[in-house]
Amino acid sequence: MTSGISRRAENVPPFIVMDVVRATNEMEARGEKVIHCEVGQPGTPAPRGALEAAHAALERDRIGYVEALGIPALRERIARHYADRYGIRLDPQRVVVTTGSSAGFLMAFLAAFDAGARVAMATPGYPPYRNILAALGLLPVDIVATETERYQPTVGGIASAGSLSGLIVASPSNPTGTMVSREEMADLAATCRRRGTRLISDEIYHGLTFESRATSALEVTDDAIVINSFSKYFSMTGWRIGWMVVPPDLVRPVERLTQNLLISTPTLSQFAAIAAFDCTEELEAHVRRYRANRDLLLEGLPKAGFDHLTRPTGAFYLYADVAHLTNDSVEFCRRMLREAGVAATPGVDFDPQRGHRTLRFSFAGSTADMEEAVRRLVSWKR
Ligand SMILES: Cc1ncc(COP(=O)(O)O)c(C=O)c1O
């Protein structure tokens, strides 16, 4: 008989931002006011129409298990969203409702890749991509992306990564807020197709764009797995609901995996999500606030010495190169929190190699908080 902890569990790295969160909680417990530029979630609740739909569902429905692939009305509503937003005709049968995009990744990786498969993504990038892959016995491959590449994977980067079963692209990206153009997405999709690499497009920040709308991989290919969520644009983070669009041959495998691993996705959240699509006015007001916050930080942070910033065209993050200020972003963030009362995320979470010289500021909070963050950082005597 053996006992102990599996290697995969032992090796999963922590999310370092959670240490910042713990420190902010301690400061707030002492009554100190912290400005939160570390959190990657909207400060707003679910839109009113979604809340009303949830209340109505509680009165009417028993909230039992539902179909593993999702309630048909929600799958149809999501397919309609692709017609409305992107002008794409999408078969609702290819839409899979998931427990947040996080479960989407899990199902996509399990359905598309065998153990040992190599799957690439750009660094800096969202840490769980790499960590979920590793926990499943897959091999994450970093494509080190540069500032001039706007931290996005390129055709050249893919070529130098060797043989790949998969490529993850996030546009807009976390932590940089940069996007790939339609031409770049088409080139990436064509390269993947030529090399027999499955393209996985994380479109969780679609809708949160400030200059032009983001291109969906579905506009340029039918082979990709597209992952999306109600957590960001739709402001429903804790409802744990998202969706995938998969090629027809993956529908049944994903259905079987979901039936066995999760049974179904939270039913109440599905009823609420259907209604969220009709809350455009409220949700677009959030986007206007994020744009104002971005502009405010782009103007204000350089006055505080943060003058090497990546200009985000989407999401709610600003990636700052702080090489002239520190060589230890974790310690720098700790000190900034302690001395200026502003919480940010050290870059090491997103880029193990270069992140000790970068920070991520989230501007998902209120505009008043962003103004206060700038005021505090300008007067911070480092
Ligand atoms: C790029 C990216 N993908 C996926 C997720 C996971 O989101 P959820 O599981 O809430 O849909 C996040 C959360 O911050 C993210 O930033």
Report the CATH number at residue 120. 3.40.640.10
**Does residue 2 belong to any structural domain of this protein?**
no
Judgement on whether residues 308 and 232 belong to the same structural domain of the protein = no
Q: 301 with 320: CB under 8 angstroms? A: yes
Nearest atom (ligand 1) to Cα of 242: 11
Establish whether residue 100 lines the binding site of ligand 1, counting it when its CB lies within 6 angstroms of any ligand atom. Answer: yes
Establish whether residue 127 lines the binding site of ligand 1, counting it when its CB lies within 6 angstroms of any ligand atom. Answer: no
Establish whether residue 125 lines the binding site of ligand 1, counting it when its CB lies within 6 angstroms of any ligand atom. Answer: no
Judgement on whether residues 248 and 114 belong to the same structural domain of the protein = yes
How do 309-310 and 317-321 pair as beta strands?
Answer: antiparallel
**What is the rounded CA–CA span in Å between residue 87 and residue 367?**
33
Domain ends where: 278, 305, 321?
278
Judgement on whether residues 75 and 163 belong to the same structural domain of the protein = yes
In 102-207, beta strands by DSSP E: 118-123, 139-144, 166-170, 198-202
**How many other CB atoms are found less than 10 A from the CB of residue 43?**
15
Per-residue pLDDT at 2: 60
358 strand-pairing partners: 321
List, for residues 314-364, the tens digit of each pLDDT value: 999 999 999 999 999 999 999 999 999 999 999 998 999 999 999 999 999
**What is the rounded CA–CA span in Å between residue 298 and residue 318?**
8
Judgement on whether residues 151 and 286 belong to the same structural domain of the protein = no
Judgement on whether residues 262 and 142 belong to the same structural domain of the protein = yes
Distance 204 CA to ligand 1 centre (A): 6
What domain count does the chain have? 2
Domain ends where: 228, 246, 278?
278
Q: H-type helices in 38-125, by residue range?
A: 48-60, 72-86, 100-112
35 strand-pairing partners: 342
Judgement on whether residues 258 and 116 belong to the same structural domain of the protein = yes
**What is the rounded CA–CA span in Å between residue 364 and residue 175?**
13
Establish whether residue 230 lines the binding site of ligand 1, counting it when its CB lies within 6 angstroms of any ligand atom. Answer: no
Establish whether residue 269 lines the binding site of ligand 1, counting it when its CB lies within 6 angstroms of any ligand atom. Answer: no
Domain ends where: 229, 256, 278?
278
Establish whether residue 102 lines the binding site of ligand 1, counting it when its CB lies within 6 angstroms of any ligand atom. Answer: yes
Judgement on whether residues 96 and 30 belong to the same structural domain of the protein = no
Walk across the sheet containing 198-202 and list its strands: 95-98, 242-245, 225-229, 198-202, 166-170, 118-123, 139-144
Residue percentage of the chain with pLDDT more than 70: 99
**Does residue 23 belong to any structural domain of this protein?**
yes
Residue type for position 229: S
Judgement on whether residues 359 and 235 belong to the same structural domain of the protein = no
**Does residue 1 belong to any structural domain of this protein?**
no
Judgement on whether residues 372 and 228 belong to the same structural domain of the protein = no
Distance 60 CA to ligand 1 centre (A): 31
Per-residue pLDDT at 16: 76
Residue 54 has pLDDT above 70, yes or no: yes
> Which domain does 198 fall in, by range?
48-278
List, for residues 111-150, the tens digit of each pLDDT value: 999 999 999 999 999 999 999 999 999 999 999 999 999 9
H or E stretch covering 346: strand 345-346
Instruction: Calculate the CA dihedral of residues 77, 82, 88, 92 and round it to 10 degrees.
Output: -40
